[in-house]
Structure 1
C-alpha cells in the first residue's frame, strides 16, 4: 500500500514538479512569517503546567501583591576621573536618574543613596548597615532599586527597552557608567540569548551540512535538493508553534537544529538511492528510489517520533512541549522529504545536474578498469578516445554508467 502510494507520487512529481516546488516555497514563506510571531518565554512559571503543586499560589502572589518585580540601575565610577559615587556631579546624575525612571509605567517606588542624604558628608555619617543596600565599601558602585507593580508593568522586552531609553537621556557625570540590571534585565538577556542562539544554530547547522553534502556529492545543486525539504519542515514546525501557543524556551529552541540533523538523513538516503538507480540504468529510477527508501524512511521516522513523543508525557511543561514539537518536526521532515524531494530531483535533472556525478563516476571507473586489465597496450589510446567520446555522449543524453557499460560489452 505504502509503495503504491509512493510510486504514484513519483509519477505525479515527474509531471507537476514545478507546481509542487512552488507549493513548497509558499509553505516555507507563510511558515516563516508565522514563526516570526512566536513568543519567547524564559519565565520559570511557564516551565510548569498550571495544575503543578504551588504554581497557583505563586501566580496569585505575583498578580495580587505588587512590587514582586525589581529593576536595578548600577552606577560605576572611575576612581581616577570621578573618585567616588558620592561626588556632587555623580549625586546630581543619580537624582536625574531617579526622577526619570519614576515616570516609567509600572514603577511603584525608587530607592537610592539619596534616601540617606544629599551630600557626601551626610551620607557617610549614616551607619554602615544603612549604606550597604545603596553603595559598596570602596564607594565605586551605587545602586538604584526600582520596585515595579506586577499588575501594571508592560511586557518585559518593552519595559527593558523603555528603561534603557530613559537612562540614555540622562547626562552622565564624567567617568561614570550606568547599567540596567536586576530581574527584568536578567530575563531580557535570556530572551535575547535564546533568540540569537536559535538563529545561529540553524544558520551554522545549514552551512556545515551544506559543505558536507557538497563534498559528498560533488555537485552545487544536490545539497539544495537535500536541504530545501528539511528547511521547509523546520519552518513549518516553528510556524505551527505560534498557532498552538507553544513559546520558545531553553528546550524548544533546540529542536530546530535537532530536526535539521535528523531530517537531512531521510533526504540523503532518497537522493543517494536515486543516483544509484540512475547509475544502473533504471529508467524508473525515481519510482524505485521512492518506493524502497520511502517505505524505510516511513518506519524509521515512526520509531524516532515514538521516542521523542514519550517526553510529551513529562509533568514538566517545558519537557512536554519539547517532546511534542520534536514529534511534529520529525513527522514534518519525513512528510516534506516524501512530497518535495522527488520534484527537486526532477528539476535538478532538467537543469543538467541530476544524477550526473554518480553515473559519471561509475562509468569512468569502468573504463579505467578496462584499461588496467587490458592485455593489449595498444588499446590505451583507443580507450582514451572512447572515454572522451563517452563523456560527451553522457552529458548530451543524461546517460549513466549503464550506457557506458553496454557500449563496451
Structure 2
C-alpha cells in the first residue's frame, strides 16, 4: 500500500481512501484509525461512508490538512476548505434535466452556482454504483441478469433514457443522439461550480452492458476496455478539451462562491440567469430552456453565455448585449460532431437552439471574419480581418 501511494504521488495523482463505519464504534477509535492511515500511508484524503462522528472528524487538528469527504454534514459544522460532499443530488437532478423531465430548471440553477458555503460539493453524472455514462444514454432499465439474482439487485431508479432503443443499436439516429447526450451530460458537469468527477472509462464511452451493480463482475463487464480510447477517440478529445476550457475560465471554478448580484458595480451580476428572452428567467414546470451569463469583469476574463435547450423542439434565444466593440462567438456546440468549433463562429442578436443541445458563447472582438473585397484588375480576393489589421 505504501509503495502504491508513493508511485501515485510520483505520477501526480492524489490518493483518497474510502472508510465505512456503522456507528457502533467509539469516537476515539474512529479518530485513531483515520489518523493512523493518514500518518502511515500519507493519504491525501478520506471518504467516509456509513455513520461516523463527522463534526469531530472535521474539527480534528491532525486532519485539518487532509481532504475529508462525506455524504452530508451537520448544518452547524465548521465549514473549512478541506471538506467536501459526495452524494447523488447532482446526478439525479441533472439526469432528469438531461432527458427532458419537467420542473427541473430551479434545481439546475441551484447546482450551477452551488458552493454550500465553504464546503466543496463533488459532482458526477455517473458513479461506480450505477450506470456508466454510456449506459445512461443506452438503457431505460437495469440489466443485472449476469449477477445471478434474477435482476432484483441494484437500484431501479437510474434516471436514464435509451434515446429510442434499448441497449446496443445500429440505428444512426439513435447513435448520434446518444453521442450528443453524452456531450450534454459532460457540459452539465464541467460547467457547474464544485469539483467535477468522472468514472474511469467514461471519457471514452465504456459500457457495463446495462449492469448498474457490477461489484461482483470480475470480467469484461467491469474491466476497462482501453481499445475504446482509440475507437471513441473523438469523445476522449472532447473531454480533454472540455477540461482545458474549464481550467482556462475561472468563472467555473472561482475561489469565491457566486453571489448572483452586481456587488462590485460593474453593471451586471457576476452570474445571471435568463430564458429565451434575456433577463427574463422563466421556470414554469413545462420549460426546459435556460441561459447563464458569466460576466467577465468579475474574473478578469471574457464574458461567457451558456445556452441550454433540453426540449425536443428547437427554440430561438435572444442574446444579451456583449461588451463594447465585441460580439458573441460560438465556441462549443453539442450538435456538432466534435463539440468544439474549429474557429469561433460570430452570431448576431439571437441564436437558434436545436433540440436537446447546449452551446457556449464567448464575448470577444470580431476576428476571423471572412468577406469578399474587390481588387482592381484582379479576381475577388478573400481577406481576413483581425481588428484593424488585414492580411
Fold shared by both chains (TM-score > 0.5): no
Greater helix proportion: 1
- TM-score, normalising length from structure 1? 0.21
- TM-score, normalising length from structure 2? 0.21
**Which of 1 and 2 has higher RCO (CA within 8 Å, sep 6+)?**
1
Larger radius of gyration: 1
